[in-house]
Structure 1
């Protein structure tokens, strides 16, 4: 596809988008993908509302990165039509979508969701409904261990990230990646893993907890493990005439 064709396709897609602040306007949707903050109580409340608004045949999908799909489905009258559809961040670039089946998710719901993800040009992996699913079950303990490595003084943050980038061919170091994801999100997922799997190896690093308590949430706040805020240049005195 040429650059002009890509531009035309992009403009056409944008023209089909419609923004709304009202959940009621979703009443005719065939599938609704929730992508609010990673807090179970907030998601359960939203799913309860969506269940009342959406048509009976609609699929309710969650972009959650770790929360139980079964528990989200339990507040609805349509557990067969609730599913996880976890896009990797940033979705326009990342090719993967995790599709997570809750305890009651039907084959029809799974097949329709998988087909939709593939229409988006994504590769689908299927996970059962256990804490962290596939990617974060593996990724977040690695990030958490990087925080422990920094916390215990094994190495500097720069050497930890450089070691993982050059030693394991990762495009980003784990601490840099944590800043990109958001330290609050990382902590939330670690808490889900720790509670859901009941193993002390998933206990969040005290340093990760401290950074979140301090509001050092990563790139979105301008400071996390690294600092991203631009330090203003000193004001130069005006020349006196």
Structure 2
């Protein structure tokens, strides 16, 4: 099977995004910047519809800032086969759990077009760990997005059997959607940027867990010293502290020497339901569940600690 496309080749064919959560909807947003259709699947159709509303609200500003492109159409689905019909690319963006991903990829493999490219957005699992039910593993790879449209780099990584044409196609076509891919030259948990970011995030959690600093201190120094729009704790709140914890647990399973304090602090927040932006409160407090923004400081007496 030939897995080589140009941008012209995919004209008229949708991209299918599986999972309409924090990153899934942002991935759909990027693929909606060059016209055409994005099929956005979530088993909870209300989540999919909310994601579509996010794209429709955000897309005009992205196109205006970019100064090019045209608005596409994002269609919500709660039927997986219908969402996959005709897609040239399927991007999976569901929770970081192999017990979810492995069977899901079996369903995708059975329903997608024979020439569709397959990519997992997993931030901590190599695609080879979830490919056992995919018939032709040569069309499968990692395509990990960060937080578009403000962070538009992406990791590409082979599953060990990926057809080189798949990676070349994505390297050529993704920039058309404002996404800039970088290829990991060998299989690596965390890929390129995330391996570096994991160390920054872990040490940021450690200084707070040990009572050395408050989240606002760490974030403030990052913003002043490096000119960042948001610091590590604001970014963790955006991603979701449950997702951050899942990722850290995976790193710890591979590297038992990693300190436990950062994960213990995250567990306290997750157990309390303080997941960040998605729940309305994490390391910061937000206007409401799912309402983005820099957040407000949580009073010291209401913060969770390891003491």
TM range (shorter): 0.7 to 0.9
Aligned to 2:279: 221
Give the equivalent residue in structure 2 for 1:9: 70
Q: Where does residue 59 of structure 1 map in the other structure?
A: 117
Q: Which digits, 9 at most, give the CA deviation of each residue in 1:65-121, with x for residues without a partner?
A: 1112111222211111101111221x2332212112111111011112222212212
- What are the equivalent positions in structure 2 for 1:59-138 lying under 5 Å apart? 59-89=117-147, 91-127=148-184, 128-138=186-196
What is the distance in 2 between the residues matched to 1:163 and 1:126?
A: 31
Distance 1:210 1:24, change over 3 A: same
| Counterparts of 1:44 and 1:7, CA distance in 2 | 38
Deviations 1:185-212 (A, max 9, x none): 111111121223x242264431112111
How far apart in 2 are the matches of 1:8 and 1:101?
29
**Higher mean C-alpha displacement, 211-220 vs 28-37:** 28-37
Q: Is 2:249–2:263's contact at 8 Å kept on the other side of the alignment?
A: no
Q: Report the TM-score, using the length of structure 2 for normalisation.
A: 0.66
Task: Verify the 8 A CA contact 1:47 1:76 in the aligned structure 2.
Answer: yes
**CA displacement at 1:142 relative to structure 2:** 1.4
State the partner residue of 2:94. 36
Deviations 1:167-201 (A, max 9, x none): 333321211111111111111111121223x2422
Distance in 1 (alpha carbons) for counterparts of 2:120 and 2:136: 14
| Superposition misfits of 4+ residues, deviation over 4 angstroms | none
In the superposition, relative to structure 1, how do residues 157 and 93 fare at CA in structure 2: closer, same or farther (>3 Å)?
A: closer
> Which 5+ residue runs of structure 2 have no aligned equivalent?
1-62, 289-307
TM-score computed with the length of structure 1 as normaliser = 0.83
Higher fraction of strand: 2
Q: Could you say if the C-alpha distance between residues 9 and 57 of structure 1 is closer, same or farther in structure 2, counting changes exceeding 3 Å?
A: closer
Assess if the C-alpha contact under 8 Å between 2:248 and 2:263 holds in 1.
Answer: no
CA distance in 2, matches of 1:216, 1:200: 27
Corresponding residue for residue 24 of structure 1: 81
In structure 2, how many angstroms separate the alpha carbons of the residues matched to 1:47 and 1:7?
A: 34
Residues 31-78 of structure 1 show CA distances to partners (whole Å, capped at 9, x for unaligned) of 211112222221111101011112322211111111121112222111
Asked if structure 2 preserves the Cα contact closer than 8 Å seen for 1:132 and 1:192, the reply is: no
Q: State the Cα distance separating 1:29 from its structure 2 match.
A: 2.0
Secondary structure in structure 2 of the residue aligned to 1:9: coil
Residue aligned with 2:76, SS: coil
